[in-house]
Amino acid sequence: MTKRLALGAALLWQACATPGTVAAPGHESIRAADLRADLHFLASDAMRGRLVGTPEIGLAAEYIKSRFERMRLLPAGPAGSFYQRFELMSFSLGEENTLEVTGVDGAPLRFAPGRDFCPLDFSATAAGQGSPVYAGFGIVGPDFGHDDYKGHDLKGAVALVLQHEPGESDPKSVFDGVVTTEVSHGWRKALAAQERGATAILFVDDVHNHGGGGLDDLTAATWPGKPRRVERFNLAARMERIRIPAAQISGELASKLVAGSGRTLRELAASAENPGGIVPIALPGPRIELRVAVKRARVAARNVLARIEGSDPKLKEELVIVCGHYDHEGADGDRIYNGADDNGSGTVGVLEIAEAYALAGRRPRRSVLFAAWDAEERGLLGAWFYAERPLWPLQKVVAVLNMDMVGRNEEVREQGGRFRGLELQTAASNANAMNVIGMDRSPDLRAAIERANRPIGLEIRFRYDNNLSNLLRRSDHWPFIQHGIAGGWFFTGLHPDYHMPEDRPERINYEKMERVVRLVHQVSWDLAEAESRPTLRERGARP
- Convert the pLDDT of each residue in 178-209 to its tens digit: 999 999 999 999 999 999 999 999 999 999 99
Q: Are 260 and 287 in contact (CB under 8 A)?
A: no
DSSP-derived letter for residue 45 is G
pLDDT tens digits, one per residue of 150-173: 999 999 999 999 999 999 999 999
Is pLDDT above 60 for 2? no
Of 476, 479, 480, 306, nearest to 402 by C-alpha is: 476
Strand blocks (E) in 313-408:
319-325, 331-332, 335-336, 367-373, 397-403
The pLDDT value recorded for residue 105 is 80
How far apart are the C-alpha atoms of 331 and 338, rounded to whole Å?
8
Is pLDDT above 80 for 453? yes
Which three-class secondary structure state does DSSP give residue 261?
helix
Choose which CATH entry (1.10.645.10, 3.40.30.110, 3.40.50.1820, 3.40.630.10) describes domain 25-89+300-407+428-461+476-529: 3.40.630.10
Is pLDDT above 90 for 22? no
CATH number of 96-292: 3.50.30.30
The pLDDT value recorded for residue 542 is 46
Q: Are 28 and 352 in contact (CB under 8 A)?
A: no
Q: Are 524 and 368 in contact (CB under 8 A)?
A: yes
Domain limits, the chain: 25-89+300-407+428-461+476-529, 96-292
Pairing of strands 294-308, 83-93: antiparallel
Residues of the chain above pLDDT 90, percent: 92
pLDDT tens digits, one per residue of 479-534: 999 999 999 999 999 999 999 999 999 999 999 999 999 999 999 999 999 999 99
Dihedral angle at the C-alpha atoms of 508, 511, 516, 518, nearest 10 degrees?
130
Of 372, 338, 377, 333, nearest to 352 by C-alpha is: 372
Higher pLDDT, 17 or 80: 80
Is pLDDT above 70 for 5? no
Q: Are 325 and 376 in contact (CB under 8 A)?
A: yes
pLDDT band at 212 (very low <50, low <70, confident <90, very high): confident
Residue at 354: amino acid letter? A
Which three-class secondary structure state does DSSP give residue 325?
strand
The pLDDT value recorded for residue 291 is 98
Of 72, 26, 193, nearest to 123 by C-alpha is: 193
Rounded to 10 deg, the angle between the 346-359 and 510-529 helix axes is 50
pLDDT band at 15 (very low <50, low <70, confident <90, very high): very low
Is pLDDT above 50 for 69? yes
pLDDT tens digits, one per residue of 362-395: 999 999 999 999 999 999 999 999 999 999 999 9
Label residue 240 left, alpha or beta by phi (over 0 means left) and psi (-120 to 50 means alpha). Answer: alpha
Which three-class secondary structure state does DSSP give residue 393?
coil
Q: Are 374 and 61 in contact (CB under 8 A)?
A: yes
Distances (CA, A) of 379 to 305, 314, 382, 473: 19, 35, 8, 10
Residue 335 CB burial class (10 angstroms; 0-12, 13-18, ≥19): exposed
Is pLDDT above 90 for 58? yes
In sequence order, which residues have a C-beta less than 8 Å from that of residue 386 and are 6 or more positions away?
84, 303, 371, 373, 479
pLDDT tens digits, one per residue of 295-305: 999 999 999 99
The mean pLDDT value of the chain amounts to: 94
Which segments of 250-321 does DSSP mark as H helices, in order? Answer: 251-258, 265-271
Which three-class secondary structure state does DSSP give residue 234?
strand
Label residue 105 left, alpha or beta by phi (over 0 means left) and psi (-120 to 50 means alpha). Answer: left
